[in-house]
Structure 1
Amino acid sequence: MSVGIVGSGISGLQLALRLRQLGVPATVYSEHDIDGLRTGRPRNFPARFGRTQQRERELGVFAWDFPDAQVQHWAVTAHPGGGEPPLRFLAGLEPPSSVVDFRIYLPHLLSAWVDRGGELVTGEHEVADLAARHDLLVVANGSRSMRGLFPADPGRSPYTTPQRVLCAGIYHGIAEEVPHSLDIHFLPGAGEILRLPFYSTAGRADVLAFEAVPGGPLEAVCHVDAGADPAGFHRQVLDLVAEHAPDLRERLDTRAFALTGPGELAQGAITPVVRRGWARLDDGTCALAIGDAWITNDPLTAQGANLGSHTAFALADLLAGATGPFDEAFCRTASARLWEHARHVVEWSNAFLQPPAPHVAGLLGRAAADKRIADAFVSRFNDPVAMWRTLSSPEGVAAFVAGCETAAPAPVGAQGG
C-alpha cells in the first residue's frame, strides 16, 4: 500500500507522521521545502488545544511547552448594546492552548518527517499524475487548484458569502492584564475584537484581530493598505479599539505599538464551506479530501488546526486498518466516518457567526456569575463534540450548568468580574 499526501499543512503532515508510525508508506507532496515554509506573510494564527497537543506528543513533535507559547486564561467581554453595561468574566483554560506561528510549527513537523526517512517531493504537481503513483491520493491542500476537485456541498454549507472580514496582525506594544491570557470582545452587529499572546518568528508577541461583520463599523480597517500608510493604519486600529474595547486600548502603548515587521498582517474574507469529501479522477481512481481541501471554517471558534489534527489521526487509523481497495466505496465510507466528528465543529462554528441564541446568552450570564461555569465553558473548546452538545439546545445548556454546579462547591469570590 502507498499513500500520496498533497499538502504540508497540519493535516497533511500529521497524517504522514502518523502513517509512518503505523507502518503505512506515504509520500508528501509540498509546494514548499522546509525553508520555504518559514517565509512569507502569516496566513493564520492557530490555537492548538489540549487534545491536539496530546496527538503531537504521540508523534514526538511537541516542542513548545512553556508559558510564552500558551494561553492559560480567557477574558471574555460581551457587549449587549443598547447602553447596557458589558458582561465580563475571566476563565481558566485547562489545559492551556498552544499558540505557535505556523512558520515555526510546520517546518518543525516537515523536518521531523524528513529526518525519520519520509519521502518529500517539492514543487507543483498535477493530481492526475500523482494518483498513478499511489494506491490512494489524499489532498490536504486547500489551494484554488485543488478546490476545483471537490465542489461545495450545499447541504452542509449554509453560507455562500463571507460572514466576517478579517484583519489580524502580530504586534509589539500590548500589555496583558492577566499573564498568558486571551481577550475577546463580542460586539453585536460589529463582530469581534481579539487579542492573544503568540509565539511568533519575532519571539513572544501579540495578535490583535478584528473579525468584522460585513458592512459593520469594524470592516473598513480590513481593507486598508498597511504597507502604503503604516502610520494611518495604526491610527485607525487604535481608534477602533478605543471606541469598541476601551479597556484593551488602555493596554496599548502608543509609542511601542506596531506590527512586528513589514507584512506581518493577514487581511481578507473567508466563506465557511464544506466540500465534497472525495473525487473520482479521469483515470477512475479516487482522491480523498481532508484539511482545507475539505472544510473551511471561520476562525472565530479556533477549531481549524484542531479539526485538521483530529481528522489526520482518524484517517490514519482507517488507512492502517483497511483490507480492501482504496476505491470509491472506501472513500465514501471514510469521508462519512470523518464527518461524524467534523459536523460538530462545522455546526458550532457556523452558529457562532450569528447573534447568540437566548440559551447561549444565558450561559454567558451564568459564567459571569460563577467561575466554575466560566472555567468549564472555556475549557470545553478542547472538546468540540461536547461543546456543540452543550450549545445546540436549551436542554444542553441546562445539563451543562447543572453538571458544573454539582461538580464542586463554588469558590469564594466566584464572580468572574
Structure 2
Amino acid sequence: MSSIGIVGTGISGLQLALRLQQLGIDVTVYSAQDPDQLASGRPRNFPARFGATQQREAQLGVFDWDFADAQVHRWDVAIQAGPHELTFSADLRPPSSVVDFRVYLPHLCAKFVERGGNVVVGERPITELAARHDLMVVANGDRSMRELFARDETRSVFDGPQRILCSGLYFGISEETPHSLDLFLLAGVGEILRMPFYSPQGRADVLAFEAVPGGPLEAISHVDSDADPEAFYRDVLKLLGEFAPGLRERIDTQAFSLIGPGEVAQGGITPVVRQGWASLPDGKSALAIGDAWITNDPLTAQGANLGSYTAFELADLISRASGPYDERFCRETSEQLWAHARDVVDWSAAFLGPPPPHVVGLFGKAAEDKRVAEAFVNNFNDPVTMWRTLSSPGGTESFLAEFSYTSPASTP
C-alpha cells in the first residue's frame, strides 16, 4: 500500500489527510504544533469558506458550524469610484462559513485522529520524513518549508506587499442587517471590511484595514494595540469616521475593544507563487500545496477555498496514479492543479489594482439591479467564472447579457 506523508496542519494538509483516509490510503500528518497550540496564539487569518468548500467538508463529515453566528448571509458593498459612490447589497447563497482556524483546525485534526489517523508532533527535516513515505506533500507555509520551493518568476508578478494589513477581532460593533458583511472599496486608499466571525470566544466581528502602501490607512498597522490600547482604538475610530462613517456610527465606544490581548494581525503579505514541486536529495520529490505553494492577498477571500479545492483534487490524483510518485508525477500533478489555481491567482492580483472601466461598469449595473449584484457576489464561490467575467470587457459583457439587462428604473 502506498504511504503519503503530509507536512502541515492547515486547511490544505488536514483536508488532504481526511480525504486520503476516506479513500483508504495510508497517510501520516506531521505538525509543528500540538492540538493545544493549534487552538491558541494570535489569530492566523480570518477565512470565509464558501459553499463549495462547505460541500467538501460535509463530504468529509467535518462540517459542524451550520448556525447563524458562524455565517455571513449578505454583503453590503460600497465602492468609491471618482466623485461618486456606488453601493449594492446581495444575499449569499449558501451563506459563507466564518470560523476561526483556532476552532476549525483542531476540530479537523481531532476527526482525523478519531478515525485512526496518525499525527506526529515536532519539526523534522523533510529528508528524514521522505525516507518513510512514497510521497511527501508540503502544506506548511513556514519559511523553512517555503524555501524548499523556489519562487516561480513566471507566475509571480509582485516583489512586495500590495496592501499593509491591520485585522482584528472586536466586540462592540452592531449590524444594520443580521449576519451581514460590510465591504468598502476605496480607490487609491485600500479597503475596509467588517465581517461577523465565530471566534474561540463565540460571536465577534472582524474589522480589517487593507491599506495601499503609503496611504492614509497604513498607519494603524504600525500601532501596537497591546502597548497602547487607547491610542489604537482612537486611531481605528478616527479612520472609520473618515472613510466609513456609516460603520463608525454603529460602534458602541463603551463596549468597543479587541476580544482579548493580541487579537490583531498586522503587516504586509507579498503575493507569490512558488514552484509546485521540488527534488529531494534522496532522489524523491515533494509536492507543495496551500501556503507552501501559493500566497494570495486575502482581499478576494480565496486562500482557504483554494486550499480545500487543491486538497481534494490532489487526493483524487494520488488515488488514481498508476505509476510511482516520482518527479514526473509531481510535475504533471502540479500543472493539473495550476489549471484551476491560475484563475484564482490572476483574479486576486487584478483586484489589488484600480478596476478597469469594464469592471467599474459592472459595479454600476450591480448598483442598479440586485440580480447582477447577487450573481457577482455569489461568484466568489466560483473563481473560474469570476475571472472569466472580470478579465476582459467581453467577459463582462457576456456576464451581463445573461440578465438581458435593463435598468430597474425603466422597468414597468
TM over 0.5: yes
1:69 and 2:60 equivalent? no
Structure 2 distance, partners of 1:341, 1:404, is 26
> Counterpart of 2:11?
10
Offset at residue 405 of structure 1 (A) = 3.5
> Counterpart of 2:48?
47
> Counterpart of 2:304?
305
Say which SS state the counterpart of residue 174 (structure 2) adopts: coil
> Counterpart of 1:58?
59
Partners of 1:359 and 1:397 within 8 A in 2: yes
Instruction: Note closer, same or farther for the CA distance 1:22–1:133 as it changes in structure 2 (3 Å cut).
Output: same
Partners of 1:371 and 1:410 within 8 A in 2: no
Quick one: which amino acid aligns to residue 293 of structure 1? A
Partners of 2:169 and 2:264 within 8 A in 1: yes
Structure 1 distance, partners of 2:396, 2:234, is 41
Offset at residue 184 of structure 1 (A) = 0.5
Offset at residue 411 of structure 1 (A) = 8.0
Quick one: which amino acid aligns to residue 29 of structure 2? V
Offset at residue 94 of structure 1 (A) = 1.1
Offset at residue 323 of structure 1 (A) = 1.1
Say which SS state the counterpart of residue 171 (structure 1) adopts: strand
Offset at residue 125 of structure 1 (A) = 0.9
Offset at residue 410 of structure 1 (A) = 8.6
Say which SS state the counterpart of residue 144 (structure 2) adopts: helix
Structure 1 distance, partners of 2:84, 2:177, is 21
> Counterpart of 1:361?
360
Say which SS state the counterpart of residue 164 (structure 2) adopts: strand
Structure 1 distance, partners of 2:287, 2:49, is 24
> Counterpart of 1:241?
240
1:287-306 maps to which residues of 2 (within 5 A)? 287-306=286-305
Instruction: Note closer, same or farther for the CA distance 1:43–1:4 as it changes in structure 2 (3 Å cut).
Output: same
Report the TM-score when normalising by structure 2. 0.98
Say which SS state the counterpart of residue 247 (structure 1) adopts: helix
Quick one: which amino acid aligns to residue 370 of structure 2? K
Instruction: Note closer, same or farther for the CA distance 1:256–1:157 as it changes in structure 2 (3 Å cut).
Output: same
Quick one: which amino acid aligns to residue 64 of structure 2? A
Offset at residue 80 of structure 1 (A) = 2.0
> Counterpart of 1:375?
374
> Counterpart of 2:138?
139
Instruction: Note closer, same or farther for the CA distance 1:278–1:232 as it changes in structure 2 (3 Å cut).
Output: same
> Counterpart of 1:227?
226
Structure 1 distance, partners of 2:71, 2:402, is 27
Structure 2 distance, partners of 1:309, 1:413, is 43
* Structure 1 consecutive aligned stretches of length 4 or more whose deviation exceeds 3 Å: 409-414
1:313-328 maps to which residues of 2 (within 5 A)? 313-328=312-327
Task: After superposition, give the CA deviation of every residue in 1:324-379 in whole Å (9 maximum; x if it has no partner).
Answer: 01110000000000000000000000000000011001100000000000011000
5+ long unaligned stretches in structure 2: none
> Counterpart of 1:174?
173
1:163 and 2:162 equivalent? yes
> Counterpart of 2:260?
261
Quick one: which amino acid aligns to residue 187 of structure 1? L
1:83-94 maps to which residues of 2 (within 5 A)? 84-94=83-93
Quick one: which amino acid aligns to residue 230 of structure 1? P
Question: What percentage of residue pairs aligned between the two structures are identical?
Answer: 67
Structure 2 distance, partners of 1:284, 1:223, is 45
> Counterpart of 2:250?
251
Offset at residue 85 of structure 1 (A) = 3.2
> Counterpart of 2:215?
216
5+ long unaligned stretches in structure 1: none
RMSD across aligned positions (CA): 1.3
> Counterpart of 2:336?
337
Structure 2 distance, partners of 1:27, 1:43, is 24
Say which SS state the counterpart of residue 107 (structure 2) adopts: helix
Structure 2 distance, partners of 1:169, 1:136, is 38
> Counterpart of 2:188?
189
> Counterpart of 1:32?
33
Offset at residue 268 of structure 1 (A) = 1.0
> Counterpart of 1:350?
349
1:206 and 2:185 equivalent? no
Partners of 1:372 and 1:405 within 8 A in 2: no
Partners of 1:372 and 1:410 within 8 A in 2: no
Structure 1 distance, partners of 2:225, 2:40, is 19
Task: After superposition, give the CA deviation of every residue in 1:254-312 in whole Å (9 maximum; x if it has no partner).
Answer: 11110000010001110000000000011111000000000000000000000000000
Offset at residue 156 of structure 1 (A) = 0.4
Say which SS state the counterpart of residue 79 (structure 1) adopts: strand
1:150 and 2:149 equivalent? yes
Offset at residue 36 of structure 1 (A) = 1.4
1:390 and 2:383 equivalent? no
Structure 2 distance, partners of 1:5, 1:413, is 57
Partners of 2:165 and 2:267 within 8 A in 1: yes
Task: After superposition, give the CA deviation of every residue in 1:160-185 in whole Å (9 maximum; x if it has no partner).
Answer: 10000000000000010111111000
Say which SS state the counterpart of residue 404 (structure 2) adopts: helix
Partners of 2:368 and 2:408 within 8 A in 1: no
Say which SS state the counterpart of residue 402 (structure 2) adopts: helix
Structure 2 distance, partners of 1:233, 1:61, is 38
Task: After superposition, give the CA deviation of every residue in 1:200-241 in whole Å (9 maximum; x if it has no partner).
Answer: 011001000000000000000001111100000000000000
Instruction: Note closer, same or farther for the CA distance 1:290–1:413 as it changes in structure 2 (3 Å cut).
Output: farther
